[in-house]
Amino acid sequence: MPKVSVVLFPGSNCDHDVVHAFRSLRIGAPQGEVSVDLVWHASSELKDPDLVVLPGGFSFGDYVRTGALAKLSPIARAVHAFAAAGGHVLGICNGFQILCELGLLPGVLLRNQGRTFLSRQVHLRVEPSPSFFSSPETEGRVVSCPIAHGEGNYFADEQTLAELEDHKQVVFRYCRQDGSVHPEDPESNPNGSKHAIAGICNREGNVVGLMPHPERALEALVGGASGDRCRELLETYAKAVFHARALSDKSARISA
Amino acid sequence: MSKSFKMQVLVRLKPGVLDVQGKAVESSLRAEGRSVVTNIRIGKLIELEVRADSEAAAREEISALCNKLLVNSIIEDFEIRAA
C-alpha cells in the first residue's frame, strides 16, 4: 500500500486537506488505497514513506521569515536525508516556503507584489520538467486552482533563474485562461513572481514546491468543475511517485 | 572566563529586492503630502546577548546564527555591532 507522510508543524493548517486529498485519490486497484499518516515536526524520523508532503499554513507563525524556523525542527534533518536519497517530497504553499528555506529548492518567496494576501483562483500551466507532475499528457495543460498566500512572490537572482530554465525546473507557471504567460500582468501573475513561477522542482525532479493548493479543490463541493483538473493533476503525480517507488523496490529485491 | 556581550544585528534587504513594506509606507506618506521622503527600505534590528571569550568570538557565533537562521542571504545582508 503506498504510504504518504504529511509533516505537521505548529501553525500548519492545510494538513487535513492534504490527508483527505491523498486518501481520496483514485489511483487504481492494483496499488490499493493510499495510507496517509501525520508526522509531528518534533519527530526525528520518517517511517519509510513513498512521499513526504509539507502542507500549507503558517509554521511557527511565519516568525523571522516564512518557513525559516521550520528548518530547525528535528524532522527537517530526516526530510533532507530522505530527499538526498531520492525520496519524493512535495511542499505546498508554506511547504514550498519551507523547502526553499531548507535549501532543498532554490530561491525564496517574497511578499506579494501588490501587498495584499491573495485568496482566489488562478490559472496554472503545467511545464515540461523532470518532476512527476509533468508528463506528455499533462504538459501544456491549463488548470484552474486556488491560491491563498501573502508571500508567494517567487524570487531568485538572474543566474539562478537562468539555471532553473536551463534545467527545466519550472513545474508550473501562472498564466491566462488560454495558457499564455505574462509575467508583467498582475491579473494572471498576481503575486509578481519572477518568470511567473508558481512551482519548481530540484534538478532531479524528486523535490517539488508549489504555491497553489490543488488539494483544496478536489471535491465538487469546493472545487467545482475545475476540481476534476486538480484531481487529475495530483493523481498523475501520485501514481508516478508510487510507481517509481514500486519499481525501485523491485530492482532492489532483484539486485539483493 | 567567558563574558556576556550585548550585541545587535542589522538585517537589510539587498538592493533591488522588492520591499513592499517600504513602498506601502512611502505611498501613505505621499498621500499625506510628504513627498520629500523617498526610497524607504525597512529592515530589522535584532538585539541579543552572547556568552563568549571575546567580542570576536561573539561576532563569530552571531555570524553563524545569521547564516543558519536569522538572515536569508538570497535577499538580505547583515551587519553585527556592539550594542
Residue B35 confidence (pLDDT): 83
pLDDT < 50 stretches in chain B: none
Q: Do A111 and B18 touch (CB under 8 A)?
A: yes
Residue A31 confidence (pLDDT): 53
Q: Do B72 and A72 touch (CB under 8 A)?
A: no
Chain A residues closer than 8 Å to B70 by CB: 64
Q: Do A68 and B69 touch (CB under 8 A)?
A: yes
Q: Is the pLDDT of residue A223 over 70?
A: no
CA distance A23 to A53: 13
Q: Considering the entire predicted model, what is its pTM?
A: 0.94
Q: For this structure, is A93 an active site residue?
A: yes
CA distance B71 to B65: 8
- Tell me the per-residue pLDDT of A111-148, one tens digit each, with 9 for 90 and over: 999 999 999 999 999 999 999 999 998 999 999 999 99
Q: For this structure, is A88 an active site residue?
A: no
Percent of chain B at pLDDT > 90 equals 88
Q: Is the pLDDT of residue A256 over 80?
A: no
Chain B residues closer than 8 Å to A101 by CB: 72
Q: Which position among A101, A215, A230, A235 bears the catalytic label?
A: A215
Between A32 and A80, whose confidence is greater? A80
Provide the 3-class DSSP secondary structure of residue A90: strand
Q: For this structure, is A230 an active site residue?
A: no
- CA–CA distances in Å: residue A19 to residues A40, A51, A131, A200: 14, 12, 21, 22
Q: Which position among A14, A88, A93, A100 bears the catalytic label?
A: A93
* Closest CA–CA distance from residue B74 to any residue of chain A (Å): 7
Residue A247 confidence (pLDDT): 83
Between A176 and A229, whose confidence is greater? A176
Provide the 3-class DSSP secondary structure of residue A14: coil
Provide the 3-class DSSP secondary structure of residue A202: coil
* Closest CA–CA distance from residue B1 to any residue of chain A (Å): 30
* Closest CA–CA distance from residue A68 to any residue of chain B (Å): 7
User: Strand pairing partners for A6?
Assistant: A38, A53
> Measuring CA to CA, which residue among B77, B64, B65, B59 is closest to residue B10?
B77
Report the residue from A72, A155, A192 with minimal CB separation from B17.
A155
Residue whose grid cell is 501514481: A239
Whether A244 contacts A132, CB under 8 Å: yes
Residue whose grid cell is 525564496: A108
Provide the 3-class DSSP secondary structure of residue A183: coil
Average pLDDT of chain A, as a whole number: 93
Residue B34 confidence (pLDDT): 84
- Tell me the per-residue pLDDT of A234-250, one tens digit each, with 9 for 90 and over: 999 999 999 988 888 77
Whether B72 contacts A101, CB under 8 Å: yes
Neighbours of A209 (CB within 10 A): 31
Q: Do B74 and A112 touch (CB under 8 A)?
A: no
Q: Do A112 and B72 touch (CB under 8 A)?
A: no
Q: Do A111 and B17 touch (CB under 8 A)?
A: no
Q: Is the pLDDT of residue A224 over 90?
A: no
Q: Is B15 exposed, middle or buried (0-12, 13-18, 19+ CB in 10 A)?
A: exposed
**Mean pLDDT, residues A162-172:** 98
What are the residues of chain B with a beta carbon less than 8 Å away from any beta carbon of chain A? 17-18, 20-21, 23-24, 69-70, 72, 74-75
Q: Do A64 and B69 touch (CB under 8 A)?
A: yes
At position A164, the amino acid (one-letter code) is L
Percent of chain A at pLDDT > 90 equals 83
ipTM of the complex: 0.90
**Mean pLDDT, residues A224-243:** 86
Q: Which residue of B has its CA nearest to A103?
A: B72
Grid cell in block for residue A77: 534533518
Residue A32 confidence (pLDDT): 61
- Tell me the per-residue pLDDT of A16-54, one tens digit each, with 9 for 90 and over: 999 999 998 888 645 568 899 999 999 999 999 999 999
Residue A245 confidence (pLDDT): 83
* Closest CA–CA distance from residue A144 to any residue of chain B (Å): 27
Q: Is the pLDDT of residue A251 over 80?
A: no
Q: Is the pLDDT of residue A218 over 90?
A: no
Residue A66 confidence (pLDDT): 96
Residue A227 confidence (pLDDT): 67
Chain A residues closer than 8 Å to B75 by CB: 108, 110, 155
